[in-house]
Amino acid sequence: MAQRVITSALVAIFFASVLYTTNGCGGSVTGPSQHFASISGVVRDAVSGAPIAGATITLQQPGAAALTAKSGSDGRYSAAALTPGTVGVDASAPGYQSFSISFGLSEGPNSFDIALRPN
C-alpha cells in the first residue's frame, strides 16, 4: 500500500511539472514566446504646452487592425498589446492640425509625446 501511495505521488509530481513547463511558467518546452510592446505619452498644444484632452491617436502596424486611443483630461494616452516593430501614429483634435509619423517600437514600454499645432 505504501509503495502505491509513493508511486501515485511521483506520477502527480511528474504531471504537475509537465503542466508547469508547458504553461509558460518555467522551462523551455513552450516554443516561441510572445513579445509585446506598449506606448504611452502626452498630447500637448505645440504653442502653449497645455495638455490636449480628447485627442484621437490611431496606431497602425503592418498586418494588424488599427488601434485607437483617446487622450484623457491630462492629455495622457496609452495602448498595449502591440508588436515590436514599425508603427504609424496619427493624432488629431478639434482646432488642431493633424499629426502623422512612423517609427520603430521596442519590446516593452515605449514613450512618445505628441505636440499638435493649433489651426
Q: Which domain holds residue 100?
A: 37-116
Rounded to an integer, what is the distance from CA 2 to the centroid of its chain? 52
pLDDT reported for residue 103: 97
Helix (H, G, I), strand (E, B) or coil at 25: coil
Q: Would you give the end-to-end CA distance of the chain in angstroms?
A: 84
Q: Are 83 and 52 in contact (CB under 8 A)?
A: no
pLDDT at 52: 98
Predicted pLDDT of residue 32: 53
Q: How many CB atoms lie within 10 A of CB 52?
A: 25
Whether residues 63 and 95 share a domain: the answer is yes
Do residues 28 and 73 both lie within one domain?
no
User: How high is the pLDDT of residue 21?
Assistant: 37
Low-confidence ranges of the chain (pLDDT < 70): 1-34
Number of domains making up the chain? 2
Q: What pLDDT is attached to residue 28?
A: 43
Query: What is the structure's pLDDT at 26?
Result: 46
Same domain, 55 and 101: yes
Same domain, 20 and 41: no
